[in-house]
């Protein structure tokens, strides 16, 4: 999953700073639906990571595999260290 492709898909722009609050909420809602329906673990993680960066990710318990929960924890740690 390409970051810019995801921004276009859910927010109709590649400029994250240009996303209006209403569009942000609607895009995140759609991402949550897609996250719940997605079967591919990598795609699910990519959706979760983007939602995390936007401040509204599902709980780690939403991952069925412990390996995925651990990857999410690592991602959160790395994002926090990077200031994001």
The answer to whether 48 and 35 are in contact (CB under 8 A) is: yes
Assigned token pair, 34:
């897609």
Which domain covers residue 22, as residue numbers? 3-81
Assigned token pair, 28:
């995140």
Assigned token pair, 82:
């990077």
- Could you tell me the maximum CA-CA distance found in the chain, to the nearest angstrom? 36
Question: How many Cβ atoms are within 10 Å of 35's Cβ, its own excluded?
Answer: 20
Q: What is the pTM of this model?
A: 0.90
In the chain, the number of structural domains is 1
Task: Quick: pLDDT tens for 16-66.
Answer: 999 999 999 999 999 999 999 999 999 999 999 999 999 999 999 999 999
């Amino acid at each position: 999953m390409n970051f810019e492709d995801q921004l276009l898909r859910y927010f109709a722009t590649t400029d994250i700073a240009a996303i209006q609050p209403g569009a942000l909420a609607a895009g995140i809602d759609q991402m949550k639906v897609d996250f719940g329906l997605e079967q591919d673990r990598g795609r699910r993680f990519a959706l979760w990571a983007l939602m995390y960066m936007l401040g509204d990710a599902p709980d780690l318990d939403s991952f069925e595999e412990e390996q995925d929960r651990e990857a999410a924890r690592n991602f959160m740690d790395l994002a926090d260290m990077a200031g994001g």
